Amino acid sequence: MKHHYYYRMIVSSFAIMLLFIAACDKDSADNKTPKDDLQVILEQTVANENIPGAILGVKTPTDSWLVTAGKADTASAKLMNADMQVWLASVSKPLTAVLTMKLIEEKILSLDDTVEKWLPGLIPQGDQMTIKMLLNHSSGIFDITHNVSFWQELLTNPSKIWTNQELVSRSVPNTPVFPPGTAFSYSNTGYYILGMIMEAATGDSVADLFQQKIAEPAQLTRTKLSRQGALEEPCTNGYTWLFTTEDVVDIASWNFSWDWTAGAGVSTAEDMLQFSDKLFNGEILQNETVDLMTSLESFAPESATGLGIGVVSADAAGNVFETKLLGHSGSNPGFATEWYYFPDYGTTIFVAVNRNDIPEGPDGHIPVNGSAISFDIFTQAWLIVKEHI
C-alpha cells in the first residue's frame, strides 16, 4: 500500500532510472541468458545484506523467468524461493480496484455511487464522494498514514486487530482535505472504505468476493485479499526498522487489518504475472472496462492515476522507457513491491524485497529504503528484458 510519503508511484521515480542506464552494458551479456543477468541483479542487491532477500518475476509474450536471491528468514537462514508468498503492500490496490470494477460490471455498484449511499453517516461530505473518486484518489478523504501518531500506535502494538470504525474515525477530523473531486491526494483510507462499500453492497466478505470473482476464474492459486493479510507457507518473512525503538524486527506475526483493501493482499511472483496476463487480455474484466480504468477520463485532476492503476504514457516527461507502463508500486513495513505491465511489449515485471523501513514523518531518516531498491531492480531488469523481446 502506498502511504503517500512512504510510497511513490512510478511517475515520480523516473529520475532514479537515470542512475542505472549507464550501468547496462549489452555487450557484456552476449554470452549469458536473460535469467543469468537477472540473477546478477538480485545477487548484487542482497550482497551487503541490507536487503535479506528479493524475488523477481518477468513474463514476455514468449518467455518467463522467476529469479530469487538471499534469505527469506534471517534467523534460520532459509533461502528465498520463487514460490513464496509475499505481502503486496499497495500493489493490493489494483486487486481491490479490479474487484470493484467486477461488481460494477455486474451492476451491483456504479462508479457514481456515493459513500453515503452505502455507508450513511460515515464520512463528512460522503454524499459528494463517489466510488470513482475513491478509486482515483480524488475523494478528499484524509489518509490515516499521514499521521505519525497512527504509526506510533501501530508499531507499538502491531498484532492489534483494527476495526473499521477505529481506522476511519482517525481520518474523519481532517476530511475532506479539499472539495471532493477537485484534486488528487493519495488516500489509503479511501481504499479501505472501498472494501467497506463492497461488503455493504453484497453482504459477503471481500476475501470471499475476491476468491470467487477474481482468484478462481483467473487461476490465482496463492493470491488473497483478506482483512488481516495472513501469509501461508511457503512464504518469506519481512523486516523493518522501527523509528519508535530503532530496532530491526521481523514482521511475520503482524496483523495487517489496518491496511486491508489498501495493502494487505498477499501473492507470489508467478500469480502476479498471471494476473497481468488475464487482466490485460480481457479474461478477468471486459476489455472496455480495463481501457476505462487506464484512460485519461478516469484520471484524478493533475495526476496520471486511473482507477487503481497508475499510467505512464510513452511521451511523459522523464520517461526513459519511451513506452507506456501500467501498474502500481507498494511500500509497507517489511516489504516493497513493483508490478508493471508494458502494453506495447506484452511484458510484465514483478519485484518484491523483504525489507523496507518506515520513517517518522515525510523527511525522517530510514536506514534501508526498500522502495528505492525494489524500483532499482525493476529498472535494471527492464533494461535486460527489452533486448530479448
The CA distance from 298 to 132, in Å, is 8
Least reliable range by pLDDT among 5-14, 351-360, 367-376: 5-14
Query: For 233-273, what is each residue's pLDDT tens digit?
Result: 999 999 999 999 999 999 999 999 999 999 999 999 999 99
CB atoms within 10 A of CB 222: 19
CB atoms within 10 A of CB 121: 8
C-alpha cell at 159: 498484532
Say what the pLDDT of residue 317 is: 85
How large a percentage of the chain has pLDDT more than 90?
87
The CA distance from 278 to 284, in Å, is 6
Q: Cell 515525510 identifies what position?
A: 362
> In the predicted model, is pLDDT for residue 363 greater than 90?
no
Query: For 126-183, what is each residue's pLDDT tens digit?
Result: 999 999 999 999 999 999 999 999 999 999 999 999 999 999 999 999 999 999 999 9
Main-chain phi, psi angles of 167, to 5 degrees: -75, -50
Say what the pLDDT of residue 151 is: 94
Main-chain phi, psi angles of 242, to 5 degrees: -95, 125
Query: For 171-221, what is each residue's pLDDT tens digit?
Result: 999 999 999 999 999 999 999 999 999 999 999 999 999 999 999 999 999
C-alpha cell at 137: 484518489
CB atoms within 10 A of CB 294: 21
HSE value, Cβ hemisphere, 13 Å, CA-based, for 321:
27
Q: Cis omega before residue 234 (within 30°)?
A: yes
Distance of CA 180 to the CA centre of its chain: 24
The model's pTM is 0.93
The CA distance from 382 to 387, in Å, is 9
The CA distance from 343 to 327, in Å, is 11
Taking alpha carbons only, the member of 172, 166, 161, 168 closest to residue 227 is 161
Residue type, 116: E
Q: Cis omega before residue 176 (within 30°)?
A: yes
How deeply is 253 buried, as exposed, middle or buried, from its count of CB atoms within 10 A (0-12, 13-18, 19+)? exposed
**DSSP designation for 211:** I
Main-chain phi, psi angles of 287, to 5 degrees: -55, -35
Cβ contacts of 145 within 8 Å, gap of 6 or more: 1, 3, 4, 6, 151, 188
Domains of the chain plus CATH, in order, are: 4-388 (3.40.710.10)
Sign of CA dihedral 198, 204, 208, 212: negative
The CA distance from 119 to 302, in Å, is 28
CB atoms within 10 A of CB 344: 12
The CA distance from 386 to 37, in Å, is 13
CA 269 vs CA 40, 43, 65, 93: distances in Å: 18, 17, 10, 16
Say what the pLDDT of residue 323 is: 95
How large a percentage of the chain has pLDDT more than 70?
92
Query: For 5-49, what is each residue's pLDDT tens digit?
Result: 333 444 444 444 444 444 444 444 455 789 999 999 999 999 999
CB atoms within 10 A of CB 18: 11
